[in-house]
Structure 1
Amino acid sequence: MNTEGWLADTRKSYDTVADSYADQVRDLLDQTPYERAALALFADLVRATGGGPVADLGCGPGRIAAHLRELGLDTLGIDLSPAMIAVARRDHPGLRFEVGSMTDLDLADASMAGLVAWYSLIHIPDDEISSVLTHFRRVLRPGGPMLLGFHVGDESQLKTQGYGGHPMKVHVHRRRPDRVAAWLNDAGFTVEAQTTLTSAESTLGGILFARRRP
């Protein structure tokens, strides 16, 4: 698959729906106690390893980054969509947000104490996952925790409309937790916990905790 093609489609799609998307997901964490518990555990794990900056990769309008900040973490949000970053900066002034791609993270080696990818790997094609996880491992310090949220399943679908009826062109990839865990193991992570759940975030979601091996 052409990397520039799907990246451009994803960027344009989320630029188009940024405001509508932000309105739709703004209060989701209020409805998802298990996800809030996972994020609180992630914050505890970061503190237990000495603390430091964490990155919310594919942060969208910034709601997860803002929640992590409320939990006491020094959080940076990164997203492919400039319009999403504009919304994040508008809605969460005082937090740091940058335009960037998880396919080519502009972060220093071992500079992050923790990473979160909250339902943001769902648009990465299978043949790009290894490269993305290599970047994740590079920027995460040894022993640092990582939290992933993703849709569980076996199929990929092309999403052509969404969030207020606006046109989109993004593939949504659903994956089995054991497959994601295998990818992580190959990329130099140790998977420490995983679960599935049903909530306002996903009809069937996966939550996975991993840690970068030295």
Structure 2
Amino acid sequence: MAGHQDRTGAAYDEVVELYASLFADRLEKQPFARAMIGTFAELVRGTGNLRAADVGCGPGHLTAMLHDLGLAPFGLDLSPGMVDHARRAHPALRFDEARMEALPVGDRALGGVLAHYSMIHTPPGELPALLDEQVRVLAPGGVLLVSFFGNEGPEPVRFDHKVAPAYCWPVDRFAGLLAGAGLVTVARLLHDPASERGFLDAHLLARRPPV
């Protein structure tokens, strides 16, 4: 797992400023994604545990959005350059370097985990381990929102993302992985992207059972 993680982190280090400029206001043009993040924040507030991790936070814009939505978020990313940018852009918030398969968070500590297109570079065989780790850090009743590129075929498809190789997933297959990790999917949203790739934008909202 470390090999592709290191390559992905290095690739994002090379595009920090460009990536940050492109995505700073991206959600203003993505009402569906914005609505799902708002719903996620509301459900996390409902747990009474406001701590939330933005895993694969990039330049920190969604961590800041979660703060504005009333959560106590922090951002984690494997790219040192992204973490440095996020700290400079949002000095009141916490950002740390971390790998998604080894989150620096205690067991059952969080009310929510946001994974916004941050698992797309993970090879299919390694994805269950990442989901197990996110379940580990969620408190009973805690909420995960995962967003990814979806397809209507039977298998995950590798494609050449502009930063690093990535995968799009059949939504039912991804939901099955969530179930295998012990999560219950409570909502799903699929919509056509404004993208030349033609993939669906997929958002799955899942909850760790309360007991």
Shorter-normalised TM-score: what interval? over 0.9
Cα displacement (A) at 1:33: 1.4
Q: TM-score, normalised by structure 1?
A: 0.91
> Which of the numbers 177, 191, 205 marks the counterpart of 2:185?
191
> Which residue is equivalent to 1:87?
85
Where do residues 194-213 of structure 1 align in structure 2 (5 Å cutoff)? Answer: 194-199=188-193, 204-213=200-209
Counterparts of 1:42 and 1:79, CA distance in 2: 20
Counterparts of 2:125 and 2:30, CA distance in 1: 31
Counterparts of 2:15 and 2:122, CA distance in 1: 19
Counterparts of 1:14 and 1:4, CA distance in 2: 15
Q: TM-score, normalised by structure 2?
A: 0.92
> Which residue is equivalent to 2:110?
112
> Which residue is equivalent to 1:173?
167
The letter of the residue matching 1:43 is A
> Which residue is equivalent to 2:18?
20
Higher relative contact order (CA 8 A, sep 6+): 1
Structure 1 runs not aligned, ≥5 long: 163-167
Counterparts of 2:101 and 2:130, CA distance in 1: 5
Cα RMSD (Å) of the superposition? 1.5
Counterparts of 1:121 and 1:106, CA distance in 2: 17
Q: 1:77 to 1:125 in 2, by over 3 A?
A: same
> Which residue is equivalent to 2:73?
75
Give a deviation string over 1:139-176, Cα, whole Å, max 9, x none: 000111111110112420234xx4xxxxx5x2211001
Structure 2 runs not aligned, ≥5 long: none
Where do residues 154-165 of structure 1 align in structure 2 (5 Å cutoff)? Answer: 154-159=156-161, 162=162
> Which residue is equivalent to 1:131?
129
Q: 1:200 to 1:56 in 2, by over 3 A?
A: farther
> Which residue is equivalent to 1:43?
41
The letter of the residue matching 2:183 is F
Counterparts of 2:3 and 2:16, CA distance in 1: 20
Give a deviation string over 1:39-71, Cα, whole Å, max 9, x none: 111111011111320000000001111111111
Counterparts of 2:200 and 2:78, CA distance in 1: 25
> Which of the numbers 148, 151, 157 marks the counterpart of 2:149?
151
Query: Which of structure 1's runs of 4+ aligned residues deviate more than 6 A?
Result: none
